[in-house]
Chains A and B, each alone.
Chain A
Amino acid sequence: MQYDLRLSKKRKLRDTVLRDGRHSQSGKFWALRDVDFRVEAGESVAVIGPNGAGKSTMLQVLAGILEPSVGKVEVRGKIATLLQLGAGFDPELNARENTLLVGEFLGVPHKEMLRRVPAILEFAGLGEFADAEVRTYSSGMRARLGFSVATSVEPDVLLLDEVLSAGDAAFVEKSRVRLTELMKRARAIVFVTHDLDSAAAFCTRAIELEGGRIVADGPAKRVIAAYKKKMAKRAATASRSGPVAHRGS
């Protein structure tokens, strides 16, 4: 099975253009540009880069949440997204009901979701909180439930955005184990992260984005090492030229 992804450009209007009703000449900017790559089955791709590089936008385009202004996205296979844990949860419903609700959002067949509910709740380790409304949960609990739901459904393609850090050490370990399992099943994973060590450990390939463009694409360890060096150099240059920002205020 092949996960085939080709993205060209993407443009995103600044919120203010529409919110304020003003037309700004400079109001259009390209969140991603000339992004063109292909992911095959069995690959796990880390997407790294500084803030604002377009990483999250890219995941949203891959997931079908955003449509590219130019170019196209082709995904062969079923997608699961973990963009932010707890998406789609209704605070007034309990864990079980929310699991079913999110399952419906994701498009999982109802019967299949019903079957998976016990395992999902168990993995999330909510204990007796499973029957309580989600609005009573801590953010960690919500994240655990969200992770559990999204990874339970055996997608062909898994899109992750900065999610491995959720939960305590025990849960983090559990999640790593689960993700490793998913990766082994010859699925494709695209993983946005600032956690470079995790990325180097987990992923076979890395893509570096900067300013919406791909600046590096290759084996994970090599690209990440180069990226680390580059960031270190930049930090050193910045501190040498003295602080530009004002202190205080």
Chain B
Amino acid sequence: MTTHSTELTVGRPRRGSIGTIFESLASLVERRRLVWYLTISEVRNKGTNSLLGNIWWFLDPALQLFVYFLLVSVIFQQAQPAILLFLGAAILPWKWFTAALASATTSVRGREQVMRQIAFPHIVLPAASVLASVGNFLFALVPLGALYLLYPDRLTPWALAVLPVAVVQFLWTLPAVIVLSAVAVFFRDISNFIPHGLRIWFYLSPALFPIETLRDIGARHPWFNFFVDINPFTWIFSGYRDALYYGRAPEWGPLGVLALASIPATLLSIYFFRRVSPLFVKVL
């Protein structure tokens, strides 16, 4: 049994920034079984409090898709062929992202009890949270798959490209979850801001409409293009749509850049988390 004696992994980091990041990553590897147990625990817990239980994992994204379908197709009367698939290709992965952020806010804050009593590397908590959210993604694939029953001609081998795009999304979800889980300890109100912030982000991304809509705005207001370009979901949604809806190769260039850019973001988020984690127990 360990709290390694003279090198308490819970205290203030004693090495430089690189050492700190490395130490966090090493502790994640060392405690991988703990991460796994926590992941399982979180996945199980998500299903227990409601009557339908884990069915909600399918039902929730499906219902959201339906709501937007009503809004876009029936009320706004935007015509898009295979509208459900057009929307679903973006909405369903987005659900994964928002669920991951939602559970991030409670991942550390909700474990106050055990943090107060046992010393362990806190980074395992957001790590488990992000892994549990992968379950969300896998479940969202089911209604997505069901859509192909409606539009079988839209299904091409390129649909498999959804996986690398999902990886890019995961790579950006990771730093978001890590940072958010720490910030939520100090600013509880953030749970209230997040849904609104996410909604705005969603509407500024090409989810409910094709990217041309955003580019049109950009043509009239050039500064807008900048924000469209740096929004990771511009490229991620386009990638999903290319693979699932248009049946063609996603744009690997921007996706590759996004993937690479996520690495320093993740490392920084780990560093940030590790630097503030000694304060968690004091604040909670």
B247 to chain A, nearest CB (A): 43
Proximity bits, A97-110, B CB within 8 Å = 1, else 0: 00011101111101
Q: How far is the CA of A201 from the CA of B116 in the complex (A)?
A: 29
Indicate if the CB atoms of A110 and B33 lie closer than 8 Å.
yes
Q: How far is the CA of A154 from the CA of B41 in the complex (A)?
A: 27
Kindly report which residue of chain A lies nearest to residue B34, judged by CB atoms.
A104
Query: A15 at the A/B interface (Cβ < 8 Å)?
Result: yes
Query: A93 at the A/B interface (Cβ < 8 Å)?
Result: yes
The interface stretch among A61-69, A177-185, A202-210, A223-231 is A61-69
Query: B31 at the A/B interface (Cβ < 8 Å)?
Result: yes
Indicate if the CB atoms of A105 and B5 lie closer than 8 Å.
no
Query: B48 at the A/B interface (Cβ < 8 Å)?
Result: yes
B241 to chain A, nearest CB (A): 38
Interface residues on B, range: 20 to 34
Query: A18 at the A/B interface (Cβ < 8 Å)?
Result: yes
Q: Residues of B contacting A232 with CB < 8 Å?
A: none
Q: Residues of B contacting A125 with CB < 8 Å?
A: none
Kindly identify which residue among A65, A73, A74, A104 contacts B281, using a CB–CB cutoff of 8 Å.
Answer: A65
Query: B117 at the A/B interface (Cβ < 8 Å)?
Result: yes
Q: How far is the CA of A165 from the CA of B278 in the complex (A)?
A: 31
Indicate if the CB atoms of B2 and A73 lie closer than 8 Å.
no
Indicate if the CB atoms of A75 and B281 lie closer than 8 Å.
no
Kindly identify which residue among A12, A60, A67, A75 contacts B6, using a CB–CB cutoff of 8 Å.
Answer: A75
Q: How far is the CA of A19 from the CA of B114 in the complex (A)?
A: 20
Indicate if the CB atoms of A107 and B1 lie closer than 8 Å.
yes
Proximity bits, B272-284, A CB within 8 Å = 1, else 0: 0000001001110
Kindly identify which residue among A75, A76, A83 contacts B117, using a CB–CB cutoff of 8 Å.
Answer: A83
Q: How far is the CA of A189 from the CA of B159 in the complex (A)?
A: 61
Query: B166 at the A/B interface (Cβ < 8 Å)?
Result: no
Indicate if the CB atoms of A87 and B45 lie closer than 8 Å.
no
Question: Which of A88, A110, A153 is packed against the most chain B CB atoms within 10 Å?
Answer: A88
Query: A222 at the A/B interface (Cβ < 8 Å)?
Result: no
Kindly identify which residue among B2, B48, B120, B282 contacts A66, using a CB–CB cutoff of 8 Å.
Answer: B282
Kindly identify which residue among A60, A78, A107 contacts B120, using a CB–CB cutoff of 8 Å.
Answer: A107
Other than the given A75-B3, A107-B120, 20 more pairs (CB < 8 A) read: A18-B186, A18-B283, A63-B119, A65-B10, A65-B115, A65-B116, A65-B281, A66-B278, A67-B278, A73-B8, A76-B5, A79-B3, A83-B117, A87-B113, A87-B116, A88-B114, A92-B41, A105-B120, A107-B2, A108-B1
6 A-B pairs with least C-beta separation:
A87-B117, A64-B119, A64-B8, A67-B11, A107-B2, A104-B34
